[in-house]
């Protein structure tokens, strides 16, 4: 019986050094020079790159790729995570118009932002002039906002209860 190991080739697979992220070292140097030049002067000109030691041929070959590398290295890309129940409670207790609670699967829309802004305004008015009607208005507006969010009714009640405990107690 023949063994399959006897038929293996002594040759190994070729290694291809050109991969998608394999960038020429001179291109990386140009990107770093572009970042430095931009931070000092607010812009990058060909004359500046020549002064930094790059040739016209290198500028023609690498400038576009180096500019993209410099941009990617300079810009910090942030992605915000969806708000958890604790985040929603915290944001509702200390509302800021530019920080609405947005749980998972919530699309930020104009109507949603207006509803949040209305709650924030009512909450600020309650802090300035606490009276029972304004307190009820705050709770009603928060309830309207929470009804627009894709969260469970039990979570809505949890948020409402937590916020109600922090509102000023006013006599009827």
Chain segment 18-28, per-residue pLDDT in tens: 445 678 999 99
Distance CA 54, CA 130 (A): 68
pLDDT bracket for residue 11 (50, 70, 90)? low
pLDDT at 76 over 70: no
Higher pLDDT, 171 or 4: 171
Sign of the C-alpha dihedral computed for residues 23, 28, 29 and 31 taken in this order? positive
Per residue in 38-52, pLDDT (tens digit) is 888 778 888 989 999
Higher pLDDT, 78 or 28: 28
Q: Cα–Cα–Cα angle for 149, 154, 158, nearest 5°?
A: 90
pLDDT at 81 over 60: yes
Domain ranges of the chain: 24-78, 85-166
What does pLDDT average to over the chain?
Answer: 86
Asked whether 72 and 142 are in contact (CB, 8 A), the reply is no
Per residue in 125-160, pLDDT (tens digit) is 999 999 989 999 999 999 999 999 999 999 999 999
Q: Say what the pLDDT of residue 16 is.
A: 46
> Which pTM was predicted?
0.56
CA atoms within 13 A on the CB side of 59: 15
Distance CA 87, CA 152 (A): 15
Asked whether 101 and 142 are in contact (CB, 8 A), the reply is no
Higher pLDDT, 70 or 17: 70
Q: How many helices (H) and strands (E) does the chain have?
A: 7, 0
Distance CA 76, CA 86 (A): 27
């Amino acid at each position: 019986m023949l063994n399959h190991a006897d038929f293996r080739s002594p040759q190994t697979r070729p290694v291809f050094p050109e991969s998608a992220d394999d960038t020429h070292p001179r291109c990386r140097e140009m990107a770093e020079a572009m970042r430095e030049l931009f931070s000092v002067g607010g812009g990058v000109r060909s004359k500046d790159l020549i002064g930094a030691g790059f040739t016209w041929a290198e500028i023609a070959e690498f400038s576009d790729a180096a500019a993209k590398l410099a941009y990617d290295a300079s810009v910090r890309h942030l992605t915000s995570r969806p708000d958890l129940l604790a985040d929603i409670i915290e944001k509702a207790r200390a509302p800021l118009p530019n920080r609405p609670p947005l749980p998972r699967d919530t699309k930020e829309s104009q109507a949603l932002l207006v509803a949040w802004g209305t709650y924030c305004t009512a909450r600020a008015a309650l802090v300035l002039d606490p009276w029972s009607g304004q307190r009820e208005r705050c709770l009603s507006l928060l309830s309207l906002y929470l009804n627009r969010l894709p969260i469970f009714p039990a979570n809505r009640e949890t948020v409402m209860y937590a916020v109600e405990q922090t509102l000023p107690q006013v006599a009827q």
